[in-house]
Structure 1
Amino acid sequence: MTITSTPGVDVPDARGRTGLDRAGRDLTGNPDVVIRDVELIATAWHVLRRTTYDYRRRDGSWSREQRETYDRGDGATVLLYDPDRRTVLLTRQFRYPAYVNGHPDGMLVEAAAGLLDNDDPASAIRREAGEELGVTVGALEHVFGVWMSPGSVTERLHFYAAPYTAADRTGPGGGLPAEGEDIEVVELDFDEALDRIGDGRIADAKTVMLLQWAALRGPFSTSPVSLGATRARVPDPR
């Protein structure tokens, strides 16, 4: 009898991981969902799984379902804003998935963001702001946490906002060339950034959400609700 080993399951994959087929097998939070099987489909950089589960419908009947999930880890993003000059600091970089799905050139204007990579969300976004924008971030405001594509992607994205000044731009930014990054730092007038949402020049979901939050409830809002709100801030560790 030949015993076969599966990378990522019982032997390490290219990133040294095993047990990747265990995700979700111990879930008990929803009595209407019973996990039956988890198959490992791909383990290149991130992980693609196919899960089979029984689901009790609202009428009481049970159905057998399958879903594929793409696990790339959780991430964080930040909108950096200068309240005095009414500007925001964003990135511009090539995104192949957008390019192959109809974007004219794949060059997207976005808020700085990145995966947590075993850091807490606040530490991760400070790291990303330094790498991508060259900014040393002070006090952070946590805006919300959102599942960006819950039909297939497991990632939860943690949204932050933080003020910046010219003095906070302590590095060149541009990302890490060793990781294939080639990022342009883009400073925009806030009202122009909003206009770019309307005409499609800003079409990245996280960036649209942060800009609209800034206009409705954030630093550029004139709403009495916003002005009277108490915002939770992450203390400046410096």
Structure 2
Amino acid sequence: MQYELFGIDPLYRGFFALNRYRLRFERYDGTWSGAVDREIFERGHAVAVLPYDPKRDRVVLLEQFRPGALEATGGPWMTEIVAGMIEIDESVEGVAHREMQEEAGLTTDRLFPITRYWVSPGGTTESIYLFLGLVDSEEASGFHGLPHENEDIRVLTMSLDEALNRVDQGTICSAAPIIALQWLSRHRARFVD
């Protein structure tokens, strides 16, 4: 199947960008759609890592303020996993290691790819490369983040079962940790000593 892109018009440039895409696409019956205009949020691509300690069967999670979640039931302090944007000329694995140190004060020498997923492909170009990183959870504590980015990140450790219960209760309600925790629940036996 095919599509035709007629043009991309910039609408806004700031910390993020917003563009209007003009296109048409081939339909399943072989005909073509009419012209479609869509505003697309240009966020870039990111890497997220679930730090996991297989010896203790514990995960390391982060809590931080998220302005996009002001209307969340529990408020805008979200329980998440390590994550960061991919900068120019930076490898996916390099971002994983950098963000583990910046956001959780952790290092890992073993990253396992989980998946790459598109965050909301109807409205943004962003995708996330998702990993599991093996760590020693006893090294995880305190507060982290980059002051010049106004990050204020609290590190939490808990059993995998407790984290999965929080997913079920809706207190972990961000996509990356939900996907990573559910993946780990299915593949836990591969990692537990």
Q: Is the 8 A contact 1:137 1:168 kept in 2?
A: no
User: In the alignment, residue 118 of structure 2 is paired with which amino acid?
Assistant: W
Equivalent position of 1:112 in the other structure? 82
Equivalent position of 1:202 in the other structure? 172
Counterpart secondary structure, 1:59:
coil
**Scaled by the length of structure 2, what TM-score is found?**
0.91
Which shows bigger deviation, 156-165 or 171-180? 171-180
Q: Is the 8 A contact 2:144 2:153 kept in 1?
A: yes
1:59 Cα deviation (Å)? 2.8
Equivalent position of 1:77 in the other structure? 48
Equivalent position of 1:212 in the other structure? 182
Distance 1:85 1:61 in 2: 57
Equivalent position of 1:147 in the other structure? 118
Identity of aligned residues (%): 30
Distance 1:104 1:172 in 2: 22
**Scaled by the length of structure 1, what TM-score is found?**
0.74
Distance 2:17 2:86 in 1: 16
**Superposed counterparts of 1:118-133, under 5 Å:** 118=88, 119-133=90-104
Instruction: Could you tell me which runs of 5 or more consecutive residues in structure 1 were left unpaired when the two chains were aligned.
Output: 1-29, 228-238
Aligned Cα root-mean-square deviation (Å): 1.8
Q: Is the 8 A contact 1:135 1:173 kept in 2?
A: no
Q: Is the 8 A contact 2:8 2:22 kept in 1?
A: yes
1:85 Cα deviation (Å)? 1.0
**Superposed counterparts of 1:1-238, under 5 Å:** 32-62=2-32, 63-99=34-70, 101-118=71-88, 119-166=90-137, 174-217=144-187, 220-221=188-189
1:137 Cα deviation (Å)? 1.7
Q: How many residues align?
A: 189
Distance 1:168 1:131 in 2: 14
Q: Which has the higher contact order (CA 8 A, sep 6+)?
A: 2
Q: Is the 8 A contact 2:59 2:137 kept in 1?
A: no
CA offset digits 1:83-109 (Å, max 9, x no partner): 11111001000111111x343321111
Higher strand share: 2
Counterpart secondary structure, 1:188:
strand
CA offset digits 1:31-57 (Å, max 9, x no partner): x31111211011001111001112232
1:172 Cα deviation (Å)? 5.7
User: In the alignment, residue 56 of structure 2 is paired with which amino acid?
Assistant: R
